Amino acid sequence: MLSILRKSRLKDKELRVLMLGLDNAGKTTIVKCIMKEDTSTVSPTLGFIIKTIDYNGYKLNIWDVGGQKTLRSYWRNYFEKTDALIWVVDATDRFRVSDCAEELKGLLGEEKLLGASLLVFANKTDVPGCMTPDEIREGLQLDDIKSHRWHILPCSAMTGENLVEGMDWVVKDAQQRLFLY
Among 13, 14, 23, 53, binds ligand GDP (CB under 6 A): 23
Stretch that binds ligand GDP, among 77-85, 97-105, 112-120, 121-129 (CB under 6 A): 121-129
Instruction: Say whether 140 sits in a helix, a strand or coil.
Output: coil
Is residue 25 involved in binding ligand GDP (CB under 6 A)?
yes
28 is in an annotated binding site: yes
143 is in an annotated binding site: no
Among 6, 16, 18, 29, binds ligand GDP (CB under 6 A): 29
82 is in an annotated binding site: no
Q: Per CB under 6 A, which of residues 125..144 are in contact with ligand GDP?
A: 126-127
Residue 15 or 34: which CB sits closer to ligand GDP? 34
How would you list the strands of the sheet with 84-90, edge to edge? 48-55, 58-65, 14-20, 84-90, 117-123, 150-154
Is residue 45 involved in binding Mg ion (CB under 5 A)?
yes
Rounded distance, CA 14 to CA 120, Å? 21
Q: In the chain, which residue ranges form alpha helices assigned H by DSSP? A: 2-11, 27-34, 97-108, 133-139, 163-180
Among 45, 82, 117, 162, binds ligand GDP (CB under 6 A): 45
Stretch that binds ligand GDP, among 69-77, 138-146, 155-163, 164-172 (CB under 6 A): 155-163
* Kind of pairing between the strands at 58-65 and 48-55: antiparallel
Rounded distance, CA 42 to CA 165, Å? 23
Rounded distance, CA 29 to CA 157, Å? 6
Residue 90 or 173: which CB sits closer to ligand GDP? 90
Rounded distance, CA 44 to CA 66, Å? 7
Instruction: Say whether 141 sits in a helix, a strand or coil.
Output: coil
Rounded distance, CA 19 to CA 33, Å? 14
Is residue 71 involved in binding ligand GDP (CB under 6 A)?
no
Would residue 68 show up in a list of annotated catalytic residues for this protein?
Answer: yes
CB of 58 to ligand GDP, least distance (A): 23
Residues comprising the binding site for GTP? 21-28, 67, 123-126
Active site residues: 68
List of residues contacting Mg ion (CB under 5 A): 27-28, 45
